[in-house]
Chain A
Amino acid sequence: MPMDNDKNIQEIRKKIALNKLRDHLFWIIGLLSTLIGFVLLFTLIIDLLIDGFPRLGWQFFTSYPSRFPEKAGILSAWVGTTLVMIVTAAAAVPLGIAAGIYLEEYGKKNWLTNLIEINMNNLAGVPSIIYGLLALGLFVYYLKFGESILTGGLTLGLLILPMVVIATRESIRAIPNSIREASYALGATKWQTVKDHILPYSFGGILTGMIIGLSRAIGETAPIITIGALTFIAFLPSSPVTSEFPFFSFKWLLDPFTVMPIQMFNWISRPQTAFHINAAAAGIVLLLLTLLMNGFAVYLRYRFRKRIKW
């Protein structure tokens, strides 16, 4: 051994040099692959800005769609998106939090909770357009809600329900058992423990999940098309505030509507380039909204993680 030690080490060094070369090459490939996503995102934003930024102005936000591209705007679309999101949040958030609480705090490990869990995972993987078909059969024709804001909101609500449930469960799971025991030791009931401790402490995570869910819903196009939302809406839904007693109304829930991604899709499908400019402008608004919401969610997650350390 010691005799050919030198020769051995020379050989080992050669091998190491080769191994390290491969290692460095892969390091570069890995970095470049990670950058592909950034490059796409960056190019996308620049492309949209170049095409659509000049079109963004007061008039664009306050006009209805029109046959004349330069007169068209996204008024009915952004109002529609706002109202649909209200319904979506109202449907998905309480239901999702309640389901999450049940699965984490109440449900015992048995076939039923197991089934619910598998099912929840499966729902999260169902393509969004399938939810559109469900809504078409269930809300539009069976429950006769028609092609309304209510239908649109509920559809997207079902779509993001698994996201809210998963976010709720994850943030509840992060709470250590000692907190629960402390509460029970003081004589609190299960619900009191949930209401006074579990919910407040998991609030940050649930809020984050909710915002990410809603940002997903804002951009969803396919299920809304499937339920038959109109692409050309030149009026606003009826106002939720009225001049007569009781000063509010839910009539808007059953009004027809359009949303921003549908408006954008409609403009992309037109052959005239001028409409493509409108599409790009609508795309900027849509992208900005989702990026802001996601950025806010990331910030929230970071802040809550910093504030509470178990």
Chain B
Amino acid sequence: MSVTHSYPLKAEVKNLNFYYNLVQALKNVHLPIAEKMITALIGPSGCGKTTYLRCFNRMHDLYPGNRYEGEIILYPDRLNIISPKIDPIEVRMRISMVFQKPNPFPKTVFENVAYGLRVRGENRKNFLEEKVEKALIQSALWGEVKDRIYDLAFNLSGGQQQRLCIARALATDPEILLFDEPTSALDPTATSKIEELIMQLKKEVTILIVTHNMQQAARVSDFTAFMYLGEIIEFDKTDKVFTHPSVRLTEEYITGRFG
């Protein structure tokens, strides 16, 4: 797996195993994550791609009976973020996540975006306003909501809500941004806006995206990993995976023969 050798790494997954109680959901996963690149995870539903993504900000720690084995090394400080010695809260403050279904809080647009900063104890009004505006501009939402940032977030459309969730994740300057099928609940127009946005964001942040939509992976990502039954079957540059897959299973999947 030397496809990433010429890129600086932001994180590296080594020998990752994950268990829901006794059921092993991830088997021996290895994966380098290149800095300020977009890495996509594809695979049939139930293959473990969401489980894998949720390891990155320790969401599995919220529920009892889950267990990690192996390492996810975060650079530059070489921190193993799934080590039990590392506080999941610290990991989540450094690595943000955007969910499958837009999940804004029942608060104003402003308070939604400022949430992560408030959680860090930040209450200076000017600073918050500056950060909120910046995040909303980054998430291409500012133009649409600048006159109603004190309206309830529930009043936005689905696509706007998802971009709000992206702004919320960006406001804290995360080192990695995780996307868990971010467009599966949206219509095509909203989807293409989000895809465009994701490609813009890679200038500033390392992105990991799970998607059930192969075209989406082909359009937005630099690297693609194909997962099947909890294992990484193939990992390569996106062009390569979609044009000349080296494993037969990958080829069958991307040509729609199963999944």
* Contacts from A to B (Cβ < 8 Å): 1-2, 5-6, 9, 12-13, 15-16, 18-20
Contact = CB atoms under 8 A, between A and B. Distances in A.
Given A5-B77, A9-B90, A12-B90, 11 more contacts: A1-B173, A5-B76, A6-B77, A9-B94, A12-B94, A12-B120, A15-B120, A16-B87, A16-B89, A16-B93, A20-B89
A20 B88 CA distance: 12
A6 B119 CA distance: 20
A16 B76 contact: no
Interface string B62-82: 000000000000001100000
B143 interface: no
A131 to B, nearest CB: 39
B76 A13 contact: no
Interface string B103-120: 000000000000000011
A2 B90 contact: no
Interface in B104-152: 119-121
B76 A19 contact: no
B93 A12 contact: yes
B77 A13 contact: no
Contact of A15 (B76, B121, B173, B175): B121
Contacts of A1: 173, 175
Interface of B: 76-77, 87, 89-90, 93-94, 119-121, 173, 175
A13 B90 contact: yes
Chain B interface, >50% SS class? loop
Nearest to B87: A16
A2 B120 CA distance: 20
A9 B77 contact: yes
26 contacts: A1-B173, A1-B175, A2-B76, A5-B76, A5-B77, A6-B77, A9-B77, A9-B90, A9-B94, A12-B90, A12-B93, A12-B94, A12-B120, A13-B90, A15-B120, A15-B121, A16-B87, A16-B89, A16-B90, A16-B93, A18-B121, A19-B89, A19-B119, A19-B121, A20-B87, A20-B89
A217 to B, nearest CB: 41
B84 to A, nearest CB: 16
Contacts of B173: 1
Contacts of A13: 90
Nearest to B120: A15
Interface pairs A-B: 3 shortest CB-CB: A15-B120, A16-B89, A15-B121
A13 B77 CA distance: 14
A5 B76 CA distance: 9
B207 to A, nearest CB: 16
A111 B184 CA distance: 40
The residue among A2, A16, A19, A20 with the most chain B CB atoms within 10 A of its own CB is: A16
Contacts of B89: 16, 19-20
A22 to B, nearest CB: 10
Contacts of A19: 89, 119, 121
A16 B121 CA distance: 9
Contacts of A15: 120-121
A8 to B, nearest CB: 9
A131 B121 CA distance: 53
Contacts of B77: 5-6, 9
Nearest to A14: B121
Nearest to B204: A1
Contacts of A2: 76
A7 to B, nearest CB: 12
B1 to A, nearest CB: 24
Contacts of B121: 15, 18-19
Nearest to A3: B76
